[in-house]
Structure 1
Amino acid sequence: MNAALKRFRIVAWIVGTFLIGLVFVAMPLKYIGHNDVLVTVISPIHGLCYMVYLVLGFHLAQQAGWKFWPHTVGLLLGGTVPIGSFFVERWAHRRILEEHPQAADPKIRQEERV
């Protein structure tokens, strides 16, 4: 569970960063500045990362034992809204730690015992 959570958190940040770059930098440059170079670079990268996000999000939800609706669907849709993946990542992290305390980072668990 810890590995699945860590992978999801990393890819959620990557997807969110690329989506913000696409929506707030590349798209305005394309439509206002008439320069579509960034869109042609960032769009496929974001698309590939979002597919990885979907797979890892579904895997995490399955390991956590979440129902498909609304938790898994909400988790998967988080990467479609700019900055949404950051909030969904934080929500999923907190929820996993509440439901599965053994998923906490081993270093943190050792510090809590002391």
Structure 2
Amino acid sequence: MKGALARYRVLAYIVGVGLLALVAAMIMRIAFDEPQYSAIVGPVHGFLYVIYLVLTVDLGLKARWPIVKTGLILLAGMVPFVSFVAERRVTRELSVNAG
């Protein structure tokens, strides 16, 4: 489970930063009529989010999480800053349970 947790943590941070970049790109698109940023950041974030979903499900299966908990952690990658909070809680929980 240690490897699954490490992969999840890396993608949680990447997806969190990517989502913040996407929010900034959308602000540029809407407020300043600059669509090129969201045209680049959007698909990259979408691709990385799919990887985040796969790695989160993998970790959830290994940690034997209930489906609701897994679903909430999956959704954490869709709300700015929440993926960082979820990552800290998951890491703390699994570190306490492992040691």
Q: CA RMSD in A?
A: 0.8
How big is each residue's C-alpha offset from its partner over 1:40-68, in whole Å with a ceiling of 9 and x where there is no partner?
A: 00000100000000000010011011111
Q: Which runs of 5+ in 2 are unaligned?
A: none
**Distance (whole Å) between structure 1 residues aligned to residue 39 and residue 76 of structure 2:** 23
Question: Residue in 2 aligned with 1:47?
Answer: 46
Note the C-alpha offset of 1:4: 0.4
Note the C-alpha offset of 1:100: 2.1
Structure 2 letter corresponding to 1:78: A
Q: Which runs of 5+ in 1 are unaligned?
A: 102-114
Structure 2 letter corresponding to 1:47: G
**Higher radius of gyration, 1 or 2:** 1
**Distance (whole Å) between structure 2 residues aligned to residue 73 and residue 29 of structure 1:** 31
- 1:94 correspondence with 2:88: no
**Distance (whole Å) between structure 2 residues aligned to residue 29 and residue 65 of structure 1:** 41
TM-score by length of 2: 0.96
**Distance (whole Å) between structure 2 residues aligned to residue 78 and residue 99 of structure 1:** 22
Q: Which of 72, 75, 78 is matched with 2:76 structurally?
A: 78
**Distance (whole Å) between structure 2 residues aligned to residue 99 and residue 77 of structure 1:** 23
Runs ≥4 residues deviating over 3 A: none
- 1:36 correspondence with 2:21: no
Note the C-alpha offset of 1:73: 1.1
**Distance (whole Å) between structure 1 residues aligned to residue 64 and residue 93 of structure 2:** 12
Quote the sequence identity (%): 36
Note the C-alpha offset of 1:97: 1.0
